[in-house]
């Protein structure tokens, strides 16, 4: 199919209304999914809830390999498959749903800058902890990541992913960091987010944007995921307005909704996803 034809098909898909059977795919939530992917999936779920767009969460052991970008989550809407929060936000916007249309250009630029901060600091810290902290790798990451597969495939896939992430860490200058330095980066990110949020209900006052969905996805997952130690979650707990922010979004957009359609159901009772 030519680029023009592909663009035409995409425009037609965007013009179609949001279907009732839209699905979001992620890894198995009880025994397989890791902190970073869980956070990214929850961010997308929160964003869709804020847009009042129904989506059913489907857990598949091979979700990572089903995704067009190799990353989760991805959504299947009509005949379209879109992965990761940024492209999903744009796809949803093309269907006439946007959380940031009320912002001016300066605010939109600020929102994007804070989203970059979260991705560059919190997401990278989560990946570092999962794949570069030796104790976490051996006790949590390798067993969970390879859990759906038989030996030796489970080990092969885990080491392959570990090599891929560590290569990325080296490229961005994180490979030589200590865990203490990474935790300090997390604290600095939380401090910046706490300062921006202040006493407002959301980052841009009364209405949530995709920034709120992204921050919630990462902070809530950090707060409710059991790791080797509590050092990561304690960094978030130091900022009471951030923990209140997470609770506010949980109550407004997840509690009382269809429990089967949201991965947050497993965490609303504070059950850990990583054991």
Q: Of 99, 119, 139, which closes a domain?
A: 99
Note whether 121 and 222 are same-domain residues: yes
Range of the domain at 19: 3-99
Residue 255: is its pLDDT beyond 60?
yes
Q: Of 99, 118, 153, which closes a domain?
A: 99
Q: How many separate domains does the chain show? A: 2
Mean pLDDT of 170-191: 97
Q: Of 99, 123, 152, which closes a domain?
A: 99
CATH of residue 223: 1.20.1050.10
Mean pLDDT of 163-180: 97
pLDDT of residue 14: 62
Which neighbouring-strand residues pair with 23?
Answer: 56, 76
Mean pLDDT of 76-81: 95
Note whether 92 and 119 are same-domain residues: no
User: What is the 8-class DSSP label of residue 98?
Assistant: -
Cβ–Cβ under 8 Å, residues 55 and 21? no
Note whether 111 and 209 are same-domain residues: yes
Note whether 248 and 144 are same-domain residues: yes
- pLDDT category at 11 given cuts 50, 70, 90 is low
270 within some domain: no
- The angle, 0 to 180 degrees and rounded to 10, between the axes of the packed helices 124-132 and 35-50 is 150
CATH of residue 65: 3.40.30.10
Residue 118: is its pLDDT beyond 70?
yes
Note whether 193 and 211 are same-domain residues: yes
pLDDT of residue 12: 58
> What is the Cβ-side half-sphere exposure of residue 195, based on CA atoms within 13 angstroms?
7
Higher pLDDT, 256 or 141: 141
Which neighbouring-strand residues pair with 81?
Answer: 76
Note whether 180 and 78 are same-domain residues: no
């Amino acid at each position: 199919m030519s680029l023009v034809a592909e663009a035409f098909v995409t425009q037609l898909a965007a013009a179609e209304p949001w279907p009732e059977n839209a699905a979001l795919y992620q890894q198995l939530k009880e025994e397989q999914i890791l902190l970073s992917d869980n956070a990214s999936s929850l961010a997308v779920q929160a964003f869709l809830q804020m847009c009042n767009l129904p989506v059913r969460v489907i857990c598949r052991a091979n979700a990572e390999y089903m995704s067009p970008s190799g990353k989760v989550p991805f959504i299947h809407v009509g005949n379209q498959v879109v992965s990761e929060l940024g492209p999903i936000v744009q796809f949803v916007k093309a269907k006439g749903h946007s959380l940031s249309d009320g912002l001016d250009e300066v605010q939109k630029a600020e929102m994007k800058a804070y989203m970059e901060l979260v991705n560059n600091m919190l997401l990278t810290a989560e990946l570092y902890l999962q794949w570069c902290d030796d104790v976490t790798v051996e006790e949590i990451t390798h067993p969970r990541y390879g859990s759906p597969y038989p030996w030796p495939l489970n080990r092969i896939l885990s080491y392959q992913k570990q090599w891929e992430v560590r290569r990325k860490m080296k490229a961005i200058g994180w490979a030589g960091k200590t865990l203490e330095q990474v935790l300090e980066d997390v604290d600095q990110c939380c401090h910046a987010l706490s300062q921006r949020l202040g006493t407002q209900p959301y980052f841009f006052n009364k209405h949530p944007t995709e920034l709120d969905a992204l921050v919630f996805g990462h902070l809530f997952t950090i707060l409710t995921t059991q790791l080797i130690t509590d050092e990561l979650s304690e960094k978030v707990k130091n900022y009471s307005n951030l923990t209140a922010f997470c609770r506010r979004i949980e109550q407004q957009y997840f509690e009382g909704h269809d429990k089967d359609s949201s991965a947050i159901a497993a965490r609303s009772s504070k059950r850990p996803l990583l054991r």
